[in-house]
A and B are shown apart, each in its own frame.
Chain A
C-alpha cells in the first residue's frame, strides 16, 4: 500500500511545499536551500511543518534528517550529532557524511538499481522533476556558495550550475545530505555496495584512497553535467547521452521507468524506513503504472517518444487509462529511421519493430528476443569515460525499455526479466574491469534465458506429461508454447490422446498451433470459442498457457482463457495452467479492465476470408461505434485446478509463496 502511494504523493504536492515553508523554516531558509529537499521529499506528509512528529519511523528517512532536519531543528534527532547551522555545512568533514550514510548501511539490500529506477520514476514526473532539479541545485550551492534565496529556482539553478555534478539518479537518493558536496559525491559514487564494506566508524583516510578515484570520476561527471545544464538542455548525465535527440530527455528517463510497470523496484529508499521489513516490503511492491487518462503525463511522455504513435480515434470509455494507438502507421517511418543515428541500439531497435509489427508474439518469444537484444547491446556497450558502468548501463537499459514500451506495452514476464537484469547490473562489483563486467552480464542473461525459460519449460513438460493418460481428450486454447511442448512430448511418449484446439478471433493463433500439431501426427479437433460449451462435454482435461500468474492466483492470459476455464469449471473438467515461474508476479488483479492491453481495433471489424461480413465497412469512423480488441483477461483463481510450474505443480493459492521464494533466489543470490 504505502510504497504504491508514495511516488504519487511525492509527485503532486508542489503546493504543499509552499505551505510548509512558510511556517516551518523562516530563519534558516534565508540562509540556504536545504529546506527545499525536505519539502520535496517529505511533501507526502502534509503536516511536515511540525517537524518532530514527521520524524516518525515510517515517514522520515534518516538521510533526510541529516540535511534538513539537522539544519532546522537541531534537537530533532537525538541519536546523531547535529550541526548547529547550515553555515557549518562547508566545514563538515567526511565523517559527517559517513554518519549520514548510516541509514543506507542499515539497509544493505538497498541496491543501486532500485534507487536509480526510483529516481528515474521521480524525475519522470513533470512537476516534480523540475522541483527536484531545482532543489538539487539550490542545495548544492547552499553548501558551497550560500546563495541567499532558496526559492528562485531558476536563478539559483543558473548560479549553481557548476556545483551540481550529481546525476539525477544519485540526487534523488542522496539528495538530502547535501551539506558537503564532497561527502555526497563520496556516498553516491561509492554506491551501496561500497558502503557495506566501510565500517561505520572507520577513519576517513582508509577510505580516501579508494574514494579519491571515485571522487575524480564524480568530478568529471559533474563537469559534464554542468556543461549540459549550462546549455539549458536540462540533461542529466545519464539520460543525456542516450536521449540526446529529445527535447526533454530528463522526463524521458523518468517516464520510461514509470511506464515500465514491473521493471523497477518500488523503492522508497530515499525515505528508507527504520525497519528493514517495512523497507523490504516497499521495495517489493510494484509501483503504479502509467495511466493514460492522465492527460498531462501522457503529453509529457509523448513529447519524448521515439515512436510517434497516433492515438486511435474512437476509444472505449472504460479503457481510457490504457494506451491505444493507430496500428501500422508508424512502421515504415521507423524502418526508414533504422540507419539513422539513434539512441537505441540496432538490436533493440529491430526487436522493437518486430513487436510493433507483431512478428514476435507470445510471452516467452518476446522475452527471449528482448534479452538477446540486450545482450547484444551490452556486448557493444562501452562505458563513457566519466561514468560508472552500473549506472550508465542501467540508464541505457531504461531507455531501451522505454523504446520497447512505445512499440508495445511490456508483458509482465518481460518486466520481471528487466528487473532481473537491472539487479544484476547494479551488483556488478566495481572491481571488475569493463570487459569482465560485460562478460558477466552477458552470461547472466544467457543463464536467465536457459534456466528460467528453456529449462523451466522442460521441467514443466515433464511434470505435466505425468497427468496425461491414454484416451484423454485435452483441450487447449489459443497457442501456448508450453502447452504445445507438453502435447508433443506426450505424443512422443506414445500416449494416445486427442487434442481439442479452441480458437478465437482476431488472432486465430490456434490455427497455427493446429497446423503444427497435425503436422506432428496428433489427432486434433478444431473449434471456435463459442462452441466451447458443446465441446467441453467430451474433454477430460484443459491445458492453458498464461502470460502471467499473479499473486492472488489470478491467471493473466490471452483473452478468452477465462471463458474456457469458466466453462471447464462448470463441466467439472480440471484446468491446468502451465506457466514458468519467471512469469509470476506479486501484483494482484481482480478484473480484466484495470490492467490490460488494447490491440488494433480495426481487425475487429474485418473478418479475413469472409467477404460477406462487411457490415461495418463505412462505419468505423462513426462516433457511436467503438471497436474493442482486448489482448488479455484475468481468470479467477477458483477456475484453476492446478498451476504447473518449474517448481512443481501447485494450487493457485501457492502462487504468492512461489513469488516470494523465487524472487529471493534471483535477486539476492
Chain B
C-alpha cells in the first residue's frame, strides 16, 4: 500500500505540474494507476466491490483535484468505477443464477435476474443502466415490479454482500478482482487503439480531391488523415498553425513526411481560406454530455467560420474523451490560462507586467488553453464506435458511465 501511495503522489505531482500532455496519455496513465490501486487493494471477504469502489474513488478524487481541467482523468475514474460495478453485477447474477438452479429457489429476485443473459459484464451493464432503459418486455408482461432490480444493481456493493455469502468466497473474491483488472486492461487497450478505430472510418468521410482544414495537432487527426491517404485517396490539407503552441507545424511535418499535400497557414488566415475548404477535421480535448466540445484554443473561431460557409465541422474523439458532465460557462470555468511567455518574449514589457506585486499593472496577457465549441457548431462526432450527432452524445455517454458516478468528489467516501 505505501508504495502505491507513493506512486499516486508522484502521478498527482505530474498532473499538478501539467507534465502530462494530451488527454490520451493522461487517460492511459490514469487507467494504469487505478489498475495498480485495484491490484494492490487488499480485499475483504465481504463487500469486496464496495471496497474497490471506495479505494478507486478515493484515489480518483485526488487525481481529479490535481488537474480538474484534464477531464480525461475524471472520465477514466468513472469508467473504472463503472467497470467494477458491472463486473460485480455479472458475478452476482452468475452466482444467483447458480444458486437459483441448485437450490431451486423461487425467489422473486432470482427470476428477475435470470432474464438477463449471464454472458459478460458488458452485456449486464444493461441492468446497471436500468434508469435509462425501459423495463424489459417480460417484466412488463409478468407484471413484476421493475424496481426490484434497481436496488439490487445500483447498490450492488451492499446487496451483493448478502448474496455472496452463499457463494464460494475465495473463488469470488479472486474472480472479481481478476475480472476488473482484465476489464481495465481492455480499457487501456481501447485507449491505445482508439485512434486506429477512428481512422478506419476515414475513407467513408474523405473523398477524392477533398480539401481539409485542421488547426493545431492531434494524433487522432493525423492517423485519420493518414489512413485515408493509405487508401489511395488524394486530398490536400490546410493546417492552421495553432498559436501559441504551434502544434500545427508538428502536424504539417508529419503529414508531409507521409506524402500528403499540406499547406501551412497562419491562424488568422482561417477565415480567408475556409471558403475553399470542404471539411474541417479537428481533434478535441473533451466532449461534454451536451455535445459541446472543449477544444484547443482557436477552434471556436474555426467552427464559426465553418458555419458561415456551411463547411462541415467534424470532431474526432476517442471514447475516453467523452465526459458525462454538462458544462456551465465552460469557456471560462473549464479553461486554463497559460504563461504569457508564449506570447511575449521574456523581458519584453517586463516593466508593465504585473509580477504579483499587487499593484495594478497596465498590461495583462491572456493566453487561454481551450475553447468551448457549442454543439450547434459541430456537424459530426467521429468516435471509435462510429459517427454521432452532437445531440446523441448524452446517450453514448450513458453507455460508458454509471449514473452513480457522475459526481465523484462530493459523494462521501463511505458510499
Question: Does B266 lie within 8 Å of A609, measured CB to CB?
Answer: no
The B262-311 residues at the A interface (CB cut-off 8 A) are 262-273, 275-276, 297-298, 300-301, 304-305, 308
**Residue ID in chain B nearest A535 by CB atoms:** B366
Chain A's interface size range is: 35 or more
Q: Which residues of B contact A563 (CB under 8 A)?
A: 267-268, 270-271, 301, 305
Q: Which residues of B contact A405 (CB under 8 A)?
A: none
Q: What's the least CB distance linking A188 to chain B, in Å?
A: 46
**Residue ID in chain B nearest A593 by CB atoms:** B276
B132 on the A face (CB < 8 A): no
Question: Does B371 lie within 8 Å of A533, measured CB to CB?
Answer: yes
Question: Does B264 lie within 8 Å of A559, measured CB to CB?
Answer: no
Question: Does A531 lie within 8 Å of B272, measured CB to CB?
Answer: no
Which of these, A515, A624, A625, A629, contacts B266 with CB under 8 Å? A629
Give complex CA distance A503, B264 in Å.
Answer: 18
B222 on the A face (CB < 8 A): no
Question: Does B261 lie within 8 Å of A533, measured CB to CB?
Answer: no
Give complex CA distance A105, B406 in Å.
Answer: 86
Which of these, B253, B273, B364, contacts A524 with CB under 8 Å? B364
A334 on the B face (CB < 8 A): no
A607 on the B face (CB < 8 A): yes
Known: A526-B366, A616-B253. A625 touches B371 (CB 8 A): no
Which of these, B259, B268, B272, B345, contacts A505 with CB under 8 Å? B268
Which of these, A522, A530, A566, A613, contacts B271 with CB under 8 Å? A566
The A598-613 residues at the B interface (CB cut-off 8 A) are 604-605, 607, 609-610, 613
Q: Which residues of B contact A471 (CB under 8 A)?
A: none
Known: A504-B268, A530-B297, A633-B272. A566 touches B308 (CB 8 A): yes
B140 on the A face (CB < 8 A): no
Chain B's interface size range is: 35 or more
**Residue ID in chain A nearest B257 by CB atoms:** A619
**Residue ID in chain B nearest A505 by CB atoms:** B266
Question: Does A534 lie within 8 Å of B368, measured CB to CB?
Answer: yes
Give complex CA distance A626, B238 in Å.
Answer: 9
B86 on the A face (CB < 8 A): no
Q: Which residues of B contact A528 (CB under 8 A)?
A: 243-244, 267, 297, 343, 367
B242 on the A face (CB < 8 A): yes
Q: What's the least CB distance linking B332 to chain A, in Å?
A: 8
Q: Which residues of A contact B362 (CB under 8 A)?
A: 518, 521-524
Q: What's the least CB distance linking B70 to chain A, in Å?
A: 19
B398 on the A face (CB < 8 A): no
B363 on the A face (CB < 8 A): yes
Tell me which of A525, A593, A596, A610 has the highest count of chain B C-beta atoms within 10 A of its own C-beta. A610
Which applies to chain A's interface (DSSP): helix, strand, loop or mixed?
mixed
Question: Does B301 lie within 8 Å of A616, measured CB to CB?
Answer: no
**Residue ID in chain B nearest A567 by CB atoms:** B301
Question: Does B261 lie within 8 Å of A504, measured CB to CB?
Answer: no
**Residue ID in chain B nearest A629 by CB atoms:** B266
Q: Which residues of B contact A634 (CB under 8 A)?
A: 272
A527 on the B face (CB < 8 A): yes
Known: A604-B266, A626-B262, A627-B263. A593 touches B364 (CB 8 A): no
**Residue ID in chain B nearest A636 by CB atoms:** B308
Question: Does B301 lie within 8 Å of A591, measured CB to CB?
Answer: no
Q: What's the least CB distance linking B74 to chain A, in Å?
A: 23
The A513-568 residues at the B interface (CB cut-off 8 A) are 514-515, 518, 521-535, 537, 558-560, 562-563, 566-567
Which of these, B266, B301, B365, contacts A566 with CB under 8 Å? B301
B352 on the A face (CB < 8 A): yes
**Residue ID in chain B nearest A532 by CB atoms:** B301
B148 on the A face (CB < 8 A): no
Question: Does A531 lie within 8 Å of B297, measured CB to CB?
Answer: yes
Give complex CA distance A625, B265 in Å.
Answer: 11
Question: Does A505 lie within 8 Å of B243, measured CB to CB?
Answer: yes
Question: Does B256 lie within 8 Å of A526, measured CB to CB?
Answer: no
Q: Which residues of A contact B300 (CB under 8 A)?
A: 533, 567
**Residue ID in chain B nearest A526 by CB atoms:** B365
Give complex CA distance A514, B365 in Å.
Answer: 11
Which of these, A527, A593, A613, contacts B367 with CB under 8 Å? A527
Q: Which residues of A contact B371 (CB under 8 A)?
A: 530, 533-534
Question: Does B271 lie within 8 Å of A562, measured CB to CB?
Answer: yes
Which of these, B252, B265, B273, B365, contacts A615 with CB under 8 Å? B252
Known: A530-B297, A533-B300. A633 touches B271 (CB 8 A): yes
**Residue ID in chain A nearest B371 by CB atoms:** A533
Known: A511-B344, A518-B352, A524-B363. A504 touches B264 (CB 8 A): no
Give complex CA distance A609, B297 in Å.
Answer: 21
**Residue ID in chain A nearest B346 by CB atoms:** A609
Q: Which residues of B contact A533 (CB under 8 A)?
A: 300-301, 304, 331, 371-372
Give complex CA distance A507, B229 in Å.
Answer: 34
Q: Which residues of A contact B252 (CB under 8 A)?
A: 615-616, 619, 625
Q: Could you give, for residues 356-377 of chain B, a 1 whenever the CB lies within 8 Å of some chain A CB and a 0 otherwise?
A: 0000001111111001100000
Q: Which residues of B contact A633 (CB under 8 A)?
A: 268-269, 271-272
Question: Does A616 lie within 8 Å of B264, measured CB to CB?
Answer: yes
Q: What's the least CB distance linking A103 to chain B, in Å?
A: 44
B241 on the A face (CB < 8 A): yes
B246 on the A face (CB < 8 A): yes
Which of these, A530, A566, A593, contacts B298 with CB under 8 Å? A530
Give complex CA distance A533, B303 in Å.
Answer: 11
B260 on the A face (CB < 8 A): yes
Q: Which residues of A contact B304 (CB under 8 A)?
A: 533, 566-567, 570
Known: A563-B305, A627-B264. A615 touches B271 (CB 8 A): no
Q: Which residues of A contact B342 (CB under 8 A)?
A: 610
Q: What's the least CB distance linking B317 to chain A, in Å?
A: 20
Question: Does A534 lie within 8 Å of B366, measured CB to CB?
Answer: yes
Q: Which residues of B contact A511 (CB under 8 A)?
A: 344, 348
Q: What's the least CB distance linking A271 to chain B, in Å?
A: 36
Q: What's the least CB distance linking B112 to chain A, in Å?
A: 51
**Residue ID in chain B nearest A604 by CB atoms:** B264
**Residue ID in chain A nearest B296 by CB atoms:** A530
B249 on the A face (CB < 8 A): yes
Which of these, A518, A522, A526, A630, contacts B269 with CB under 8 Å? A630
B126 on the A face (CB < 8 A): no
B355 on the A face (CB < 8 A): no
Question: Does B243 lie within 8 Å of A619, measured CB to CB?
Answer: no
A209 on the B face (CB < 8 A): no
Q: What's the least CB distance linking B95 to chain A, in Å?
A: 53
**Residue ID in chain B nearest A570 by CB atoms:** B304
Q: Which residues of B contact A432 (CB under 8 A)?
A: none
B335 on the A face (CB < 8 A): yes
Question: Does A514 lie within 8 Å of B269, measured CB to CB?
Answer: no
Q: A563-B270, A567-B300 are in contact. List 11 more A-B contacts (CB 8 A).
A: A504-B266, A525-B366, A526-B343, A527-B365, A530-B298, A530-B301, A531-B368, A563-B267, A625-B264, A627-B263, A630-B269
23 A-B residue pairs with CB within 8 Å: A503-B343, A518-B349, A523-B363, A525-B364, A528-B244, A528-B267, A528-B297, A529-B243, A530-B244, A533-B300, A533-B304, A534-B366, A537-B331, A566-B271, A609-B345, A610-B342, A619-B253, A624-B255, A624-B261, A625-B252, A627-B264, A628-B263, A630-B266
